């Protein structure tokens, strides 16, 4: 999916500050951080929205959550706490149509989210 900005980041065709990568996922710092720690965890596989996730692909999400947990630990957020968010479609606030987890931390999070 060449027109997808996150596929291009995963393929290192456009620059991002990568924090982790393996054969399944890539993590990198968000361009417009909303917290002192704001990273995105994406699958290498192009999946447009959570609605498009197939059952046979769903173990990817567990791996993404585990990597988010590891990155939270690396950033000393384990005890302080952090938030993992995934936005879906327009009312969910999704802007980039390649599924991703946001890892947010380093400040107090509020509830309900805006």
Partner that binds at residue 50, options Zn ion, ligand 5GP, none, CB closer than 5 to 8 Å by kind: none
Q: At closest approach, how far in Å is the CB of 49 from Zn ion?
A: 11
Among 4, 20, 21, 30, binds ligand 5GP (CB under 6 A): 30
DSSP string, 27-67: EEE-SS-SSSEEEEEEESS---SGGG--GGGTHHHHHHHHH
The verdict on 87 binding ligand 5GP (CB under 6 A) reads: yes
Residues linked to residue 83 through DSSP beta bridges, in sequence order: 104
Residue 8 to residue 81: CA distance in whole angstroms: 31
Residue located via tokens 């909303």: 34
Q: Which does 98 bind (CB under 5 to 8 A by kind): ligand 5GP, Zn ion, none?
A: Zn ion
d(CA 99, CA 86): 8
Residue of 29, 38, 44, 46 interacting with Zn ion (CB under 5 A): 46
Residues that bind Zn ion (CB under 5 A): 1, 4, 6-7, 46, 98
Residues that bind ligand 5GP (CB under 6 A): 5, 16, 28-32, 40, 87, 93-96
């Amino acid at each position: 999916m060449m027109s997808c900005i996150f596929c291009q980041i995963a393929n290192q065709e456009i620059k991002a500050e990568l924090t982790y990568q393996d054969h399944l996922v890539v993590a990198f710092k968000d361009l417009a951080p909303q917290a002192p720690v704001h990273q995105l965890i994406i699958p290498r596989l192009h999946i447009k929205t959570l609605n498009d996730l197939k059952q046979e692909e769903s173990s990817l999400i567990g791996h993404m959550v585990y990597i988010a947990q590891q990155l939270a630990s690396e950033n000393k957020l384990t005890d302080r706490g952090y938030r993992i968010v995934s936005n879906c479609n327009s009312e969910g606030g999704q802007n980039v149509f390649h599924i991703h987890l946001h890892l947010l931390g380093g400040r107090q999070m509020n509830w309900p989210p805006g």
